Structure 1
């Protein structure tokens, strides 16, 4: 088409028909501009499609990560809830002066700590590409809040329990227990003497209070994950 206009221009110029020559020249320029605009639009469509495809892929990966986080946190939360309920059972039984072997098993459920490591590969890839890949601004904010704030506080709370185990309980276990089977059985050298020591009762209460903090943070994390996964599923439709 452009070649056609060029031939006409050359003929008009040869015939000294300047006005029509300019009209055809402008027509040729117009076609060039239109061609460029169409090419740019097609390129924009392609880039938009690539960006959308990547957004879908990264959200799918993040959703898988969140699903795994949810399963692990829920399992650890259950252990923590059992531990604190068992602490109440121990303290109630000891208060009644009943020192029986069930306390060995109960103590093993209490004198322990929870573990959790988030699966964050999807979010790390997203950060490397730029959070703006996510088209939903609210979802951007919620993802940042979960990975930078919620998980930070959760990990701190879980670490507090682990530190208390290492600092407060390990010395007691080493000095007061002769049988230690982690999560199964803890047997003091003298059960009654052990529980008649007020400092040991305080340890149980402090550990229980410390664990309450991690329970609260795990519940918050699970609620945040549920909300995030709902938002992600809406984007994946």
Structure 2
């Protein structure tokens, strides 16, 4: 092909047809430019296609992770409701002298969650591979809400339980060491309390008696308020998780 064009240029020069030669040269340049533009267009199309495929895989991965997060949120939600019920029962019994027929597991008074960090560095890095602005905006909001929830939990709630409530319970001799050491599996990080059913680590009678004291009710108030603060943020995270999953599922149809 190159020899063909070279032959035409040589022929025009030999015939001294400079006007036609320049017109031809310009036309040849235009063809070359068009060829380059077409090649660049094809290359850009390929790159965009590859980028779309990568983004689709990232979104699928995020969608699956959001489902795992949702399961964990259900666990948090159930735990909060049990803990809040125990707090309310202790308040009613201690401050309002109401009769409590049955309180939930006393161990819940010192309970903290088996809490797993949800947003890791890989998750944040994947954010930069997403070009879909609708999804990106919702993801940024979701990450912010997760961070708010985790801040309340780790910075405010856990220190209050570990540094104030647990030492106070030990000081008041509420722990039943015999029941603890007789457990087959000494762990309270399970999603259920099967290991401790019937073997209360916290003495229920002493706990009810302690509920009559003002100092315990003050600590109970602080702990419950922080749990409530955590739960408020948890509800926001659950809502954003559901919305984000629906959005990603819808947008994936366009990839």
The TM-score range, normalised by the shorter chain, is: 0.7 to 0.9
TM-superposed deviation, 1:193: 4.2
Contact 2:176 2:203 in 1 (8 A): yes
Is it true that 1:209 corresponds to 2:205 in the alignment?
A: no
How far the C-alpha of 1:203 sits from its partner, in A, is: 2.1
- For residues 85-100 of structure 1, the aligned pairs below 5 Å read 85-94=85-94, 95-96=96-97
Distance 1:40 1:99, change over 3 A: closer
Tell me the TM-score normalized by structure 2.
0.80
Distance in 2 (alpha carbons) for counterparts of 1:192 and 1:41: 76
2:183 counterpart residue number: none
- CA shift, 1:231, in A, is 1.6
Shift of 1:142: 1.9
- Secondary structure of the 1:90 match is helix
CA deviation profile, 1:176-235 (whole Å, cap 9, x unmatched): 223165564211684564233221122223222221001101100011111111221122
Question: Over aligned residues, Cα RMSD in angstroms?
Answer: 2.4
Output aligned runs, 1:174-213, within 5 Å: 174-176=170-172, 177-179=174-176, 182=188, 184=196, 185=200, 186-187=202-203, 190-191=206-207, 193-213=209-229
- Segments of structure 2 that go 5 or more residues without pairing to the other structure are 181-187
Q: From the two aligned structures, give the one with the greater helix fraction.
A: 1
Which runs of 5 or more residues in structure 1 are unaligned?
none
Higher relative contact order (CA 8 A, sep 6+): 2
Identify which of 164, 167, 177 aligns with 2:163: 167
Alignment partner of 1:84 is 2:81? no
Q: Verify the 8 A CA contact 1:99 1:191 in the aligned structure 2.
A: no
The answer to whether the 8 Å contact 1:73/1:116 transfers is no
> Contact 1:90/1:106 (CA < 8 Å) preserved in 2?
no
